[in-house]
Structure 1
Amino acid sequence: MSHSLYPHLLAPLDLGFTTLRNRVLMGSMHTGLEETKDWPRVAEFYAERARGGVALIVTGGMAPNAEGGVFPGAAGLYTPQDIENHRVITDAVHEAGGKIAMQILHAGRYAYSPDCVAPSPVKSPISPFPPKELDEEGIEKQIADIVTAATRAQEAGYDGVEVMGSEGYFLNQFIVTHTNKRTDRWGGSYENRIRLPIEVVRRVREAVGPEFILIYRLSMIDLIPEGSTHAEVVQLAQEVEKAGATIINTGIGWHEARVPTIATSVPRKAFAWVTKKLMGKVGIPVITSNRINMPDVAEEVLADGCADMVSMARPFLADADFVNKAAEGRADQIAPCIACNQACLDHTFSGKLTSCLVNPRACHETVLTYAPTETPKSIAIIGAGAAGLSTGIIAAERGHRVTIFDKADQIGGQLNMAKAIPGKEEFIGLVDWYARMVETAGITLRLGVAPGVEDLRGFDEVVIATGVTPRDPQIPGQDGPNVLSYVDVLLHKAPVGKRVAVIGAGGIGFDVAEFLVHEGESPTEDLTLWKTEWGVSDPARDRGGVAPEGPRPEAPARQVTLLQRKNEKPGKRLGKTTGWIHRAALKMKQVEMAAGVNYERIDEKGLHISLGEARENPTLIEADTIVLCAGQVSNRSLADELEAAGIEAHVIGGADVAAELDAKRAINQGAHLAAVL
């Protein structure tokens, strides 16, 4: 493996009793795979990442006992059969040349169960169940169960364990007064509050012996009131080292924190500075984490002395070959994690199997395969948006001859609008990656061309991926000069006034509002600006890293009102784990929102509305510009013409279903079609 391109990232790390082949850790993710009990499938997911060059993999969190499971029935190593099942995973990873550690995750009050336990009976704001306060005997049981989980992991062939002590889970709950109200030896003074994590590490080390990797995941910045100070974080790190930890990994923010930590609007390497503050204070390697998604970002973090190693989790959903591609000088071919959460965390929190928007094979390695074709075909794809590109690249890699047509002068389709939104800059990299993959796959690209039926007769297969067109809301006066479509706004085709009414509060309406309230540098591109906007400070100054003055966003560039016909909370249908961020961001920018609205008419003064079925409270919303984001309709006219001419075509993406701008579904549909063409 060449180290010249990324000398820090690709350097081995000597742990004394074992050496890691580079400085890349695949961070823990709960995928739901272990719960399927399809062990060869779980094994292949991890083995593919090991073959891709990652030095050390950490599994999703395994529960040490029933009360500690994130939800009832969460995976753990409870029986001899569980140990045998996990050996299928560890054998596959070792055969692929990798190392793997099992994360032991006790959820504490975050457990979605009436049996959840915690240091004190303080209910979490993100769970309906008040926890039971543990007594001395109960605490001893939790320690013993965590130790047992570690020894079972060792027996199952794991190279180590990660003890989860961050993100507001069980051990973290003991550390801060926010959740620990005890007055016995497990509460009160800081020394008492950190007694449990230290005892857990000490007892685990005692049980597994010296030659077993023991990672402690430490909360470097809690991002909650009454969280830990930096001095306390350093003290705990030093005690954890003394107790026998091999490595300290970084955790950022509790799950209940009102600060985004991994979503796409969070700047790259946004929290590496927090880990850097610990460097030199402990003698064991320190790992940094969060929003590190490309090799150059990871290299920069290590070269800057922020850590000894980097943890990347979702980038390994996007591309299992991340490390190998980096080492081979093919970084521009790494499918980028855009931190959208749509197929990973949103799936996890909806009880669905995890996958990845840009890589539908993630967690489906044994069921979605791209075998070389035995009968190469000529395939025409009309539309160079997400659906068409996904189909074309995979079909070409399988050996088909692919031509992609698009009437536009650039590829990307609706992704080109997404990348214009402040906070969605990662979409720029996604479109660039698609362009590179079209090139490497040898696809014929015909831009500025809208083929007709006759142009498509000679192809063996025709795929219609022509996307969507904006829906016509049919509002009297919408043809006026003060009315624009979201397309005109996001593609910078038209000037927008200072007072704006946005019609439609779905995903596009929210994106347009975000676009209109920002001017100048996007906070996602400027860490100082972003930290001020969300009220993030230095835990050396403010407990928990929460600025006492709170979030201080820049003044909105425009006065925006966001409206919808549906009588429900605007933004209710946005992503499960990111919707709150978009709602909070617009609230901070003083965007007014209204639901259950009838659009009566538009004139030079603005938008006239009424409320409810009875059309009550007629109101004028004074606006210089009205932007239409009233949904989309499928653009399938070409599909209909082909059908009439007796030519069979596959219709995918927005041309098939025009539900919002669903890139996840479009890419997934394209991948599944390309796999069988």
Structure 2
Amino acid sequence: MERYPHIFQPGTIGKLAVKNRIKYAATETNFPYGDGYVSEREVAYMEAQAKGGAGIVTTQGAYPDKKGEGKGFKGMMSINDDRYIPGLMRIADVIRANGALSSIQILHCGREGGIELDYCLMPSVVPQKLSYFKPPREITKEEIKQAVRDHVAAARRAREAGFDMIELSGIVGYLLSTFISRYTNKRTDEYGGGLKERCRLMVEVIEGVKAEVGDMPVGIRLCGHELLDDRGGNTFEESVESFRIAEDAGADYLSVTVGWHESSQSVITRDVPMGHWLYIAEAVKKAVDVPVMMAFRQFLPHIPEKAIAGGQIDFVEMCRPMIADPEFPNKVREGREEEIVPCIACNVCFSRLYYHQPIMCSVRPSLGHEGEEAWGYYGFKPAERRKKVVVVGGGPAGLQCAEVAARKGHEVTLFEKNDRLGGNILIASRVDGGAAELLRPIATLEQLCRKAGVSIRLGVTCDPSMVGREAPDVLVVASGPSMKGLSKGVLTPHSVMAAGEKVGPRVVIIGAGGVGLGVAVYLLRSGEYEITVIDEAGKPGRDVNPFYFWQYMALMRKRKVSFMMRTAVNSVEDVRVRVTGPSGEGVVEADSVITSLMAPEEGVWKDTAGSLAKEVYFIGDAKKPRRLLNAIRDGYRLGMVL
């Protein structure tokens, strides 16, 4: 009997039969060219998503207007002219050829658009909360009519490109959502006022698109709960009612989302329990008759299985889980859940878009390289010569390198001094309750290593003499970083968060990067501490993902953590920290001092590794302390070339 019968039962959208209840949800990638044309990279990425087993595969949003007022990303796909149809047709064809229904999203970014202009379009001039976005200009009535025409023309192009269905986007601050929300719509004409009037543009777009494409299904993504109560946004009841209005206008399905980019509440980070937002989809489902779908923290298959069985949703949408592993549906269906490369809600993919960079994934280095044989997304060619490889360190870099090297046919032995794999992830996973999700890719890598034939030796402190006895062709040092600033009485993140060293009430943390802030958050969540963070940098958290940085800083402001920036630590003497800062020299009294500063490996391997094997490589934090993304990428890229 199938373990997840509801996920894999057929469904319908309008006139179309869908092979299962999984939809790959639209996400921008910045893979297309800057002029809006589809790139080879985007086609290969969409092909991988289609091969992964989802019933519906949706493209990224394509902007419909010629001025670029709807363009919100440097590498955003365009559908504003017929010349884009051939490229779009390639995506539709490759999706259909791999057994999925093809859907294209039409997206005018509105409040978050005009990326190459000096303004963005909005129903009313409401100042931006996020400085990244352009200053608003009020859209005129004629421009509103043009926006409708642009969506209709885009729908025609979508049909001519061969897509099976169309999705409209009215979420997070994009054009349609800014009309629907009381927060951003202060108009007094027929497009403002009550909810019905605020939904008028949405209705005109749906009706216009439906009239253009006939019985081709048209769905829309709307916000089920804006989480903008502090700024006068829509009530929950108004948001649910907007779905009824969309259904009455002719929408064939409804995708339920949560929050705006400006919301002051966590929505997609690890502190939000998986499946938490399904109550919102359930409220929408009770109010409408067309199929309802939702994404948002449904990373484990039992969550949507239960939600579909219980009538909360009809389809599950997967975005980040299928960025991390496009094969998610196939692996679930085939009973290979332990091999799923798991999304850890780090949101590196999302945050890179706002630095005008192509998306990357902390746990899947092959993202964006699916069409490049050397990156091995569909498998690696066996190495020309089988080598004996020794990997020292069972953190993410070492595990990933070992797994790829073994898949290429090498004989790989991995040594880990602890009785558990994970390296510094074991510490990072203790920052807060949600951070425990960071352990999931470690478990997957261990499973894949063992499947590939890696010999894993836990609880073994590997030293140069041991490596000498192994006589490897390749030595990979992935043993982690050295700690900077250590002196008598100075603690480390490991000693505090893993070894259980006691910390006094007054704490100085040296280093305001991600590690230092993580230690501060850990302490604040576990007790009452008076914390001072010292760093030579001008700002804290430069290496912390924005999605988590604002959370950390909000907690630290609330708990009155002190920051001494542009301040150097001269010495630590009996937990008296001598510093030099903008105001000169001084002393900070403390009961405990913790250094979070790390350096490349400076221990036993620095001077001896070169004599132990023909090929020697340092990866991960042993090479240079950085983030999880860099560690896994180091390991993967080295494994590729061995």
TM-score (norm 2): 0.92
Q: 1:135 aligns with which of 118, 121, 140?
A: 140
Q: Secondary structure at the match of 1:428?
A: helix
Aligned mates of 1:18, 1:656 — CA distance in 2: 53
Aligned partner of 2:254 in structure 1 is: 248
Q: 1:182: how far off? A: 0.9
Deviation at 1:263, TM superposition (A): 2.0
Provide the rounded CA distance (Å) in 2 between the counterparts of 1:360 and 1:583: 29
One-letter amino acid of the counterpart of residue 581, structure 2: G
Distance 1:95-1:640 versus aligned 2 partners, 3 A rule: farther
CA 1:40 to 1:626, structure 2 compared with 1: closer, same or farther past 3 Å? same
Cα distance, 1:610 vs structure 2: 4.5
| Residue number among 92, 95, 98 corresponding to 1:93 in the alignment | 95
Which of 437, 448, 455 in structure 2 is aligned with 1:426? Answer: 437
Which of 347, 351, 354 aligns to 2:352? It is: 347
| 2:541 alignment counterpart | 571
Instruction: Please list the CA deviations of residues 270-292 of structure 1 after superposition, one character each: whole Å capped at 9, or x if unmatched.
Output: 21111111222100111122111
Change (3 A) 1:559 1:451: closer
The amino acid that maps onto 1:625 is: S
- Residues 1:515 and 2:526 aligned together: no
Query: In the alignment, which of 58, 76, 80 is matched to residue 78 of structure 1?
Result: 80
> Partners in 2 of 1:73 and 1:4 — Cα distance?
41
In structure 2, distance between residues paired with 1:260 and 1:383: 34
- State the Cα distance separating 1:619 from its structure 2 match: 4.8
Instruction: Report if aligned partners of 1:373, 1:398 keep a CA contact under 8 Å in 2.
Output: yes
Give the equivalent residue in structure 2 for 1:7: 5
Match of 1:561 in 2: 531
- In the TM superposition, what is the alpha-carbon distance from 1:644 to its structure 2 partner? 3.8
Asked if structure 1 preserves the Cα contact closer than 8 Å seen for 2:362 and 2:629, the reply is yes
What is the aligned partner in structure 1 of residue 110 from structure 2? 108
CA contact (8 A) 2:475 2:609 kept: no
Structure 2 counterpart of 1:436: 447
Matched, 1:615 2:581: no
C-alpha deviation, 1:201, in angstroms = 0.9
> Conserved in 2, the CA contact under 8 Å of 1:566 and 1:596?
yes
Instruction: Please give the secondary structure, in 1, of the residue aligned with 2:287.
Output: coil
Q: Does 1:657 align with 2:624?
A: yes
Instruction: Output the amino acid matched with 1:40.
Output: E
Give the Cα–Cα distance (whole angstroms) in 2 for the partners of residues 350 and 653 of structure 1: 24
1:367-382 paired onto structure 2 within 5 Å: 367=372, 368-369=375-376, 370-375=379-384, 376-382=386-392
Paired position in structure 2 for 1:551: none
> CA offset at residue 296 of structure 1?
2.0
| 1:673 partnered with 2:615 | no
Q: 1:72 to 1:430 in 2, by over 3 A?
A: closer
Instruction: Answer whether contact 1:597 1:609 (CA < 8 A) is retained.
Output: no
The code of the aligned residue for 2:567 comes to V
Measured after TM superposition, the shift of residue 53 of structure 1 is 0.6
Q: Which residue of 2 aligns with 1:472?
A: 485
CA distance in 2 between counterparts of 1:496 and 1:444 reads: 38
Q: Find the counterpart in structure 1 of residue 498 from structure 2.
A: 491
Contact in 2 for aligned 1:561/1:591 (Cα 8 Å): yes
Deviates most, 356-365 or 453-462:
453-462
Deviation at 1:73, TM superposition (A): 6.7
Query: How far off its partner does 1:636 sit?
Result: 6.0
SS of 1:6 mapped into structure 2: coil
Structure 2: runs of 5+ lacking an equivalent: none
Does residue 216 of the first structure (1) align with residue 223 of the second (2)? no
Deviation for aligned residue 1:578 = 3.3
TM-fit CA distance, 1:299: 1.8
Shift, 1:266, TM fit: 2.4
- Match runs of 1:286-365 below 5 Å: 286-342=292-348, 344-365=349-370
**Alpha-carbon shift at residue 331 of structure 1 (Å):** 0.9
Counterparts of 1:261 and 1:180, CA distance in 2: 23
Residues 569 and 115 of structure 1: is their aligned pair in 2 closer, same or farther, counting only changes over 3 Å?
Answer: closer
1:281 counterpart = 2:248: no
Structure 2 match to 1:50: 50
In the alignment, does 2:385 pair up with 1:416? no
- Structure 2 residue identity aligned to 1:471: K
Structure 2 counterpart of 1:188, from 161, 176, 193: 193
* Partner Cα distance (1:613, 1:244) in 2: 63
Give TM-score, length-normalised by structure 1: 0.88
Aligned counterparts of 1:407 and 1:72: Cα–Cα separation in 2: 45
Aligned AA for 1:373?
P
- Counterpart of 2:632 in structure 1: which amino acid? I
**Any idea what SS the aligned residue of 1:280 has?**
helix
Q: Unaligned 5+ residue runs, structure 1?
A: 520-556
Q: Cα distance, 1:430 vs. partner?
A: 2.1
Look up the SS of the partner of 1:627 in the other structure: strand
Amino acid at match of 1:409: D
- Taking only aligned residues, the RMSD between alpha carbons, in angstroms, comes to 2.1
Q: CA deviation at 1:194?
A: 0.9
| 1:143 match: secondary structure | helix
Asked whether the equivalents of residues 636 and 655 of structure 1 are also in contact (C-alpha less than 8 Å), the reply is no
The count of residues paired between Structure 1 and Structure 2 equals: 625
CA contact (8 A) 2:299 2:343 kept: yes
Separation of aligned partners in 1, 2:388 and 2:629: 26
Question: What whole-Å deviation, never above 9, does each CA across 1:320-340 have from its counterpart, x for those lacking one?
Answer: 110111111111111110011
SS at match of 1:462: strand
Give the conservation status (yes or no) of the 8 Å contact 2:420–2:458.
Answer: yes
- Against the structure 1 CA distance between its residues 171 and 418, is the aligned structure 2 distance closer, same or farther, given a 3 Å change threshold? same
Asked if the contact 1:513/1:562 (under 8 Å) is kept, the reply is no
| 1:330-382 Cα deviation digits (max 9, x unpaired) | 1111111001122x112211111112111111121123224231533322212
**Aligned amino acid, residue 450 of structure 2:** E
Give the 3-state SS of the residue equivalent to 1:634 in structure 2.
Answer: coil
CA distance in 2, matches of 1:386, 1:166: 36
Q: Specify the code of the residue in structure 2 equivalent to 1:333.
A: E
Would the aligned equivalents of 1:405 and 1:451 in 2 still touch at CA under 8 Å?
Answer: no
Q: Tell me the residue number matched to 2:591.
A: 624
Instruction: Name the residue aligned to 1:63.
Output: 63
Residue 165 (structure 1) shift: 0.5
Contact 2:473 2:613 in 1 (8 A): no
Paired-residue identity, % = 31
Aligned to 1:642: 609
CA contact (8 A) 1:109 1:123 kept: no
Indicate whether 1:595 and 2:565 are aligned: yes
Is 2:603 the partner of 1:633?
no
Secondary structure of 2:464's aligned partner? coil
Q: Match for residue 502 of structure 1? A: 509
SS of structure 1 residue aligned to 2:33: helix
What secondary structure is seen at the aligned counterpart in 2 of 1:586? helix
Q: CA deviation at 1:246?
A: 1.2
Seen in structure 2, the aligned counterparts of structure 1 residues 562 and 509 have a Cα distance that, compared at 3 Å, is: farther
1:124 to 107, 128, 132: 128
Q: Give 1:452-463 correspondences, 5 Å limit.
A: 452=464, 455-456=467-468, 458-463=471-476
Aligned counterparts of 2:245 and 2:533: Cα–Cα separation in 1: 54
2:412 to 399, 402, 405: 402
From 167, 176, 196, the equivalent of 1:171 is: 176
Confirm or deny: 8 A CA contact 1:198 1:240 kept in the other structure: yes
Alpha-carbon distance in structure 2 between the residues aligned to 1:159 and 1:347: 30
**How far apart are residue 497 of structure 1 and its match?**
2.9
Q: Summarize deviations over 1:476-505 as a string: whole Å, max 9, x none.
A: xx413xx42111111143122333222211
**Residue aligning to 1:389:** 399
